[in-house]
Amino acid sequence: QSALTQSASVSGSPGQSITISCTGTSSDVGRYKFVSWYQQHPGKAPQLIIYEVSNRPSGVSTRFSGSKSGNTASLTISGLQAEDEADYYCSSYTSNSTVTFGGGTKLTVL
């Protein structure tokens, strides 16, 4: 079971928008709507910010949005704020009835 591919790091200035990509295969991201995104601050547990590709749980800022095209899912954060600095992980359901995570992307707010 291979992890989904994410860029190791991304950065942006306050107020800007950034996009984090998550590339899988036709057996996971490309096959199912069950793609989620998690935000993890240092020393904290991950927090769900996007589920089923583009849905936001109650309480999550509208600055977070998700999409998918083919085997690649994307998380966009608009109007970057200092508090957005964290690690971001994607996950997907797979054709083996398992869950796989991406390697994580570290977001730095300049």
Partner 1 sequence: QVQLQESGPGLVKPSESLSLTCSVSGGSIISTSHYWGWIRQPPGKGLEWIGSIDYRGTSSYIPSLMSRVTISVDTSKNRFSLSLTSVTAADTAMYYCARQRIAVAGPFDRWGQGTLVTVSS
Stretch that binds partner 1, among 15-23, 29-37, 63-71, 72-80 (CB under 8 A): 29-37
Nearer to partner 1, 64 or 89 (CB): 89
Q: Are 36 and 91 in contact (CB under 8 A)?
A: yes
Task: Check binding of 96 to partner 1 (CB under 8 A).
Answer: yes
The strand order across the sheet containing 18-23 reads: 5-6, 18-23, 72-77, 64-69
Helices (H), 37-93: none
Task: Check binding of 97 to partner 1 (CB under 8 A).
Answer: yes
Q: Which two tokens stand for residue 46?
A: 């991950």
CB atoms inside a 10 Å sphere around CB 32: 16
Nearer to partner 1, 24 or 46 (CB): 46
Phi-psi region of 23 (alpha: psi -120 to 50; beta: other; left: phi over 0): beta
Task: Check binding of 108 to partner 1 (CB under 8 A).
Answer: no
Stretch that binds partner 1, among 11-19, 61-69, 71-79, 100-108 (CB under 8 A): 100-108
- Site residues for partner 1, 48-67, by CB under 8 A, read 48, 51-52, 57
